[in-house]
Amino acid sequence: MGSKEENSPKSNQNLVEVQSSVSDEEKALRNGHKGGVLWFTGLPGSGKSTLAVELERYLFDSGYNAFVLDGDNVRGGLNADLGFSPEDRTENIRRVGEVAALMANAGLITIAAFISPYKSDRSQARKASGKCFHEIAVVADLSTCESRDPKGHYKKARSGEIPDFTGVSAPYEQPKTPDLLIDTDAHDIARCVDLLVEYVHENFVLKEG
């Protein structure tokens, strides 16, 4: 409540002006779609990363702003200080949930592909993003996942070389009511991507008129 006369000329530059942050609505109108989070959860080998990258490519080619968050770009940087104990997995997913929320706020369709085995961690990720969070269960039989074994991790987990491996020596809590279920046993990649694209159209793309 001090009078203006108390201020020196230097301080009188109104550096604390009206802050005109760009709203979510403005971003959506310009992009043609809302920002949000597609949270892919599933066993190792269920197809999360493959589908995430294929979907990102499709969305980019269709003119959308999309970005994939996964172990490849998070475990070596932001979460390089975390391992695979239950506590570290929880902190891993907590941070990713917050980053996904920021990216959604930036207007991006953020595709987060993480095993995220614990229901409570996924709930916290949903809380960070609010109603723009969509849980996508990427599902395949354990035997299928294990037979794919792209990085040879299942083999190492069975031999004990990798401890705390989800599906083998660490639990996976299946989502009971995901927003979308993608069965990579039943469908090939192209069909799975189609189903995801359909979901994005329904839930992210602004309708005419």
Residues taking part in catalysis: 116
Q: Does residue 200 interact with a copy of itself by CB under 8 A?
A: no
Phi first, then psi: give them for residue 86, nearest 5 degrees.
-55, -40
Quick one: which of 185, 194, 198, 202 contacts a copy of itself (CB under 8 A)?
A: 185
Candidates 92-100, 153-161, 165-173, 198-206 — which segment interacts with a copy of itself by CB under 8 A?
92-100
Cβ nearer to a copy of itself, comparing 18 with 207: 18
Site membership for a copy of itself, residue 95 (CB under 8 A): yes
Q: Please, what is the angle between helix 48-61 and helix 189-203, to 10°?
A: 60
Residues forming a β-bridge with 134: 38
146-154, 156-164, 175-183, 195-203 -> range binding a copy of itself (CB under 8 A): 146-154
In what side-by-side order are the strands of the sheet with 66-70?
Answer: 66-70, 109-113, 36-41, 133-139, 180-183
Site string for a copy of itself, 109-138 (x = CB under 8 A): -------------------x----------
Q: Is 181 in the site for a copy of itself (CB under 8 A)?
A: no
Q: Kindly give the pairing relationship between strand 36-41 and strand 180-183.
A: unpaired
**Residue 146 to residue 159: CA distance in whole angstroms:** 13
Considering the complex, state which of residue 60 and residue 163 has its C-beta at the smaller distance from a copy of itself. 60
- Comparing CA positions, the residue from 142, 143, 123 lying closest to residue 133 is 123
